[in-house]
Structure 1
Amino acid sequence: MDTQVADTLLGSLIDGRYRIRGRVARGGMATVYTATDERLERTVAVKIIHPTQAPDLRARVAGFVERFTDEAKTIARLTHPNVVAVYDQGTHQGLPYLVMEYVRGRTLRDVLAERRRLNPDEALAIAEQMLAAIGAAHRAGLVHRDVKPENVLVAEAPTGGAANLVDSVVKVADFGLARAVEAAEEDQGNQLMATVAYVAPELVTDGHADPRTDVYSAGIVLFEMLTGRVPYDGNRPIDVAWQHVDRDVPAPSTLVPGLPKALDELVARATRRDPGARPTDAGALLAEVQVAREDLGNNAHTAVLRRITDAPAPAVAGPTMAVAAVRPAERPAWARLPEPKGRDRSRGTEPNRPHRRRAVPEGNGLVARWRRQLSEAPPGRLAVVAGVLVVALLLVGGGWWFGVGRYTVAPELVSLTKAEAESQASRAGLTLVYAEPRYDQKVPRDSVLAQDPGSADRIVKGGTITLTLSLGPEQFPVPDVVGKEYELAEADLRAANLEAVKGKARYDDNLPAGVVLDTDPKPGAEVKPGTKVNVIVSRGRAPITVPNLVGKNVNEARGALQQLGLVPTETYRDSDKPKDEVIGQSPADGSGVEKGAEVKLEVSKGPAPVTVPRVVDLPCPQGKQVLESQGFPVVVQFNPNGVVRFQNPGENSQVAPGTPVTIGCF
């Protein structure tokens, strides 16, 4: 008989506030429940770490709960319509939990399980909102580290339309949990946390994560939405992970024939194995997705225009899967993405930028009227009407080219190194020129400090971007003012944009009072402007002269120092000098010191003891020779030509050098 274990959390009250109502989903690290916030009377989602996981994390990393709490606070400050809001955090029976916004919808994983793959316009619409959320996190200094369909929630539009996902609202979850758990893993050897199907190559090779890591994972998610599968599989997770390092992600059109080339290029840009070749963050990738979606929509409209006019179309390779035109103003207000900076919300256009072309209606549009005129015109006027039509089309095409078509979007180059910026500009077909560099306290030397035009601004294809490079923090060398009067030293430091601070003066045997002895930082050190330099000034020669104590008995030396008001300290070491004889001193004799100063004495412990060798059972002359060769005086008793039968001191005795040894020979 099967036994089902009840979920003990169902119906329980967490923190005296959140009543658990039902279980929504269970993952490898945590379970998500719906709950009622009894204080505010609203439905929320509660994500709580599994009981089997939390003790393990705490055992491995004592600070896991603190990290989890810090991450929850950070993500709670991130307010964005496409980010699952975090309302609260805490621990329940020792298990960390998050209280989040409850999204009525499905995960992108559920959508893909049902639909297998999405239409290009649906995939790009979901990618836009997903990247808008991740981009907001990147601007706040957060990296998600685990972008995957399971962490993307799709809420259907209030008006319905479940069959088409273009107007659905997308929200991204699990920013805080991903980073807190990864931090725990890093302390235990930098193990791989991200899901291997979406993991960036740099996470596999060196465990490094930055905004470009999320860009890679988002590119894999876009690949899966377009093709219905991830690019790599294998028998073991580690095999899948290393395929991201060793292989380029294939073009989606190789798996789904007919996908537009622009989508292949978009996926390829996001999933470059070299992080430096990808868009710098999710905001940069979002701009490229919007441009691709706009271009594909315009191509679809061009095809419609050609069909209406029955004009012969040139043989240009284009997408075989049309993408719906982008009309942000036609979305419900709750589903619109944030407008780009500088856009006139009332008209939907940017300043000084022509309106985007709208799809031409077949019934009452300009082309329809031209078609009627062509069909109704007498033969003599047909050529005139046709000529006017050609001129009008040329004007429309030229206006589009000069107003929109010849422009592209400037890439984000700020904060990149000079080499990285040149590489990215080269790939975009743009030219770089450099303005006068300037110092900056935060941006490293040879990194991009500013660009014109700015990132995501329009720029003519093949145009020029002006970069301002950083010279790094401005540094000034500390001038050498040792040996100068304090007033002169202060003036020199002020002239070097530094501030002089008079430190504690001290005695010196060589420099007179009022003269600079030393500075901190030392002369020549590179420091920031305005740095305070501690200036040490001489007090002149000290009033007490240290006597010569070397060669004196330690008791005699100690008495002499105490009589002068000085403090003796002694250290003992082996020496060939007699025991208790002073063999060194500091300060040296003749030095000036003040009353109460410490004088260090080195005192002899006497010669180091030596070991008496064994000579018993040796012929008496040989035994005497052995002892004398090691510096021992020898006293022979009884028969000097006999054999040594005893010795005093005995063998292996430790004695002072030169100690007499008596041997008895028989």
Structure 2
Amino acid sequence: MDIQVADTLLNSLIDGRYRIRGRVARGGMATVYTAVDERLDRTVAIKIIHPNQARDAQMQLAGFVERFTDEAKTIARLTHPNVVAVYDQGIHGGLPYLVMEYVRGRTLRDILAERGRLNPSEALAIMEQMLAAIGAAHRAGLVHRDVKPENVLVAEAPSGGPANLVDGVVKVADFGLARAVEASSETEAGNQLMATVAYVAPELVTEGRADPRTDVYAAGIVLFEMLTGRVPYDGDRAVEVAWQHVDRDVPPPSTLVPGLPPVLDTLVVRATRRDPGARPTDAGALQTQVQMVRDDLGTAANAHTTVLRQIPSVEHPTMAVEQPTMVVSSVRPNERPTWARLPEQQREKPAPHRRRAAAPSSGFAERLRELAARLPGIAGSNRVAVIAVVVAIGLVAAMGGWWFGVGRYTETPALISMAGKDAQTQAERAGFVVKFADPRYSEAVAKDAVLDQDPASTDRIVRGGTITLTLSLGPERFPVPDVTGKTLDSAQLDLEQANLVVARGPDRYDDNLPKGVVISTNPKVGAVVKPGDKITVTVSKGKAPISVPDLVGKSINDTRSALRELGLKLAETYKDSDKPKDQVIAQSPQSGAGVETGAEVKVDVSKGPPEIPVPRVIDLPCPQAKQQLESQGFAVGVNINPNAVVRFQNPPENTPVPPGTQIVLTCF
């Protein structure tokens, strides 16, 4: 019989705030629940790491939690309409969790499971928003590492329900989660491959490294799956699937779905090239190409024609893209990571290199050799002809020397500081091929302008040659990391990793932070700085050696004596109060606070209750006078005859006295 284990987290309260209401999904690393934030009264999604992930990291649990926390902070700063927002993070039952935006809709995996595949307009609409989210992460220096349909959420469309995929709002989740878990899952055999094998890039399999182009590859596989209804590779074991990405080219989608426009094949092939350098540099670059394809498909549909412009190629932007034939050198089994080796594996032989077309020089040299071979025969019959041939050979050789030495070269145009698109247009109009290197930050060159070019301006370059442009990311600016509460060594490491210069300011005592922990920074946490800026940290010396005594309620004379014995200074301020005169009614610092010898302690001292005038009661009957004085808060004493008439009173009438002063009446 089936045994179902109840989920103990259902209806539990996390961090005294989040009430778990239901389980949404369970993945390879974590389970997602819906919950109600009882503090803000809103529905949220909570992702809790599986116990086995935390158990794998027990040998370095502190580091795992710290990495997970750092990743959560990084993701929380990633604000974009296509990114699932992160609100909070914490630890529950020893398991790290994230509190995220709850998206009402379905995952792309659910949609593909229901519909099989999508039409091109739907697939490109989803892909454009996906890449917008991933591109924002790349600009923030974050690599997703696990792009797949399960991490793509399609919200309900404003125009009516999730079925309208073209208008649907797409959000991408799980930024950085794979890296946080992977960083704490190292074994002696090497890093575990955390990315889903159906979408894993070849360099992640062979070298274990990831950069924005790794996400571009995975996005290309997702587009392939949306267009065809399946992933390109399958196998009995995950490792076999992973190595197919290394050994084989992703086929054009039209080989599985005839009739797809060729421009879609070009888009998928370019994004999934095995060589990372041949792919778009990041998600933003791929998004631009997707937008071009969407525009072209829309134009073609409106014109009732299938004529589509080509996407500019990374290598040859002005030329139509040919289906690439790529040659990847074989990887010997003993070069693979230990976890990925296939015993007795029969590898496919690499495809032979495509032979390049003969250079112009080969034809020229061949003609020279042919003429030289014919010279003896010609010489025997016609001396004039021999001379003519020799002269011709000389002319041809001279022209060939001029062409190969000077004629085929031209001057590289000056493109520095031009807008990237303008520089590309100008170079292509001059017949050059433009490639883009990884962009860099610059304090002097505006964002998206040309920071560097190779060859340099005015250098010689072959006509029609390639110019590599490096675009500027603009001045690099980022907020000061929050290092308060960390040890000095840990704070210094975080700041130096952010390319900041650390200076230690004067240490000071702090009642709340232990010795050696950072109290504050200057500039403050969150202030915008640039690389190389100096950050001054103030470190706690711990609690000061002298504890301030409790002085409230003591007389000012006792207070003076107590502080004098401790070597502390006293500052007195007298104030009106209903407390007795000369009694301490407030102090600063508070009792128990730590201070140094010679520190000043401020106290407020009561002036006593305000004085009131004594009323006249002479000539009144003694009982009546007593009653009147007592009703006004005076104490009353009676001499001689308490039933007679008041003849004298002390203090006399209109004398200012404190409340409660005794008035003595003499009656006879």
What's the TM-score bracket when you normalise by the shorter of the two chains? 0.3 to 0.5
